[in-house]
Amino acid sequence: MDAKTPTGPLPFYITSAIPNPASKRAPWYKNTAPTYAGIFLWFVFWQDATTTQAGFLGGTLAQGVGVGLLGLVVSALVCHYLFYLVPGLLGMKTGLPLYIVGTSTFGATGGFLMPGFLMGVLQFGWLGVNVYFSSLALAAMIPVDPRIIMVIWGLLAAFVGLKGIQYVAKVATYLPLIPLVVLIWLFLKTVGSVGAFDPAKLVAAHQAIAPDAPAALGTLGVVAAILTYVVGFFATAGAAGADFGLSSRDKKDVSRGGLVGIALAVLVTAGLSMLIVAGVYGSPEMSAKAAALGADRKGFILDSFNLIQVVLGAGTAKWVLFLLALAAFPPGCFSAFIAANSFKTTLPKVNPFISVGIGAAVSIILAVTGYVSKAIPVFVVIGASFGPICGAMMVDYLLAKGKWSGPRAGFNPAGWISWAFGFVIGILPNLGVNVPAAPVLAFVVGAVVYFLCAKVGLLSPVVALSGPKPEPAAPGNQP
């Protein structure tokens, strides 16, 4: 079934793809690592590292700081080794982006829709999350209805992402330093009381304000909740590792870029956020302020973002929130930029102003209505969508003995069947079914089903490339 056969001409988007040459590649510390680290520095990621989708008592700190940090370590390794590494290696070895290398898993025709079109659609979900939280932060300093800010912010981010991403490139290099400085500042203000943190007291304080909240999670439950959160957030960026890998020189660049930009960045950003929350509730003075603020807002505060005013004071917090919102603008533009590239490829006859404009309108509606106010369910959808994609791509890569097999004809049944099974499993938490670490389980199901489909002959034949051949890194840098 895998023998190359002339089953018809390949789509133009495949034959016209030009591999990124070795001369245009750079070391991991100049592209992959800083770009990925910037994603994890976005406050929308680290703010909720201590909360859970169902609001369990004590969140992910219910079993103490040690268990929480263990969950982050496991999550960081899963993101790097399962979700990023294979796409990154495929990009490096071929010099081709995700929507091309993905055709070996989903077919030359099917790859047009997934991961290509799906990647673009989900980016507008990201833009909606960005618009919502950034606008609320800006509203702390700007006396305007947050919904008005959401409309302006969403349209501006979409426009810049569509037409002028180059104008924010230099600014985006430095803006991520703002959340890093904020995290370090908050950590230094709270680290003295981390040692006094008592998870039992945290659970009791949470229960006093939210008596109907679900019981505290056990050790495995905490690890699973953190996996759901971190992996769900990262899933699309992991698949996009192919787009980062095509700028890598060799296997070491791919690996080091991921270990530093992904694994280490997860531990630094989410780890500091976790320690900050523990420090707040380890201090009698700050925990009393947090409890009073939570009672005023009719909810227990477990995220580091909403504890900023407890640590720094209301006046200073307004400026910090304002700066964090500004630092979130490049990620919003980046989401729109990726969506625009995806739509330009998959919908070449549609004016990108129309396709991106419609997507931006949906993002703004999601933000204004508050649908994206809870980030974790959004991450579950993303993890359910891209978990099985990454799992199937890994198995496809291993079956091809560490190479890109090339585009498969039409819709590759193995890829689509594996994605369907994985997505159903991954989306269950949003339907009220308790599935631990759903994005990871979606990955596993996608991988297993793809392997089984391959073994029973459900792989489309590989079509020989007639256009530019993939150009790997320089010979001396081959893995």
pLDDT in tens, 259-300: 999 999 999 999 999 999 999 999 999 999 999 998 888 889
pLDDT (0 to 100) of residue 3: 43
pLDDT (0 to 100) of residue 7: 46
pTM to 2 decimal places: 0.89
CB atoms < 10 A from the CB of 433, how many? Answer: 10
pLDDT (0 to 100) of residue 334: 77
pLDDT (0 to 100) of residue 244: 87
CB atoms < 10 A from the CB of 259, how many? Answer: 19
Q: DSSP 3-state assignment of 36?
A: helix
pLDDT (0 to 100) of residue 257: 95
Angle subtended by helix axes 375-399 and 219-239, to nearest 10: 70
pLDDT (0 to 100) of residue 397: 97
Buried b (16+ CB within 10 A) or exposed e, 172-192: beebbebbbebbebbbebbee
Mean pLDDT by 10 residues, the chain (479 residues): 53 83 91 88 93 94 98 98 96 92 94 84 88 91 92 90 59 80 97 97 94 95 96 91 91 96 97 98 96 88 95 94 89 80 73 86 92 84 92 97 93 97 94 92 97 96 72 47
pLDDT (0 to 100) of residue 173: 67
Tokens of residue 421, six digits: 């099974």
Contact 340, 172 (CB under 8 A): no
Q: Per-domain residue ranges for the chain?
A: 12-469
Q: How far apart are the first and last CA of the chain?
A: 28
Considering the domain 12-469, what is its CATH architecture? Orthogonal Bundle (1.10)
pLDDT (0 to 100) of residue 89: 97
- In angstroms, the Cα distances linking 275 to 202, 344, 464 are 14, 43, 53
pLDDT (0 to 100) of residue 172: 63
Cα angle at 290 between 328 and 270, to 5 degrees? 40
- In angstroms, the Cα distances linking 347 to 116, 353, 385, 461 are 10, 12, 21, 25
Task: Identify the H or E element spanning 31.
Answer: none
The per-residue pLDDT for range 21-64, each reduced to its tens digit, is 999 899 999 888 988 898 899 998 999 999 998 899 999 999 99
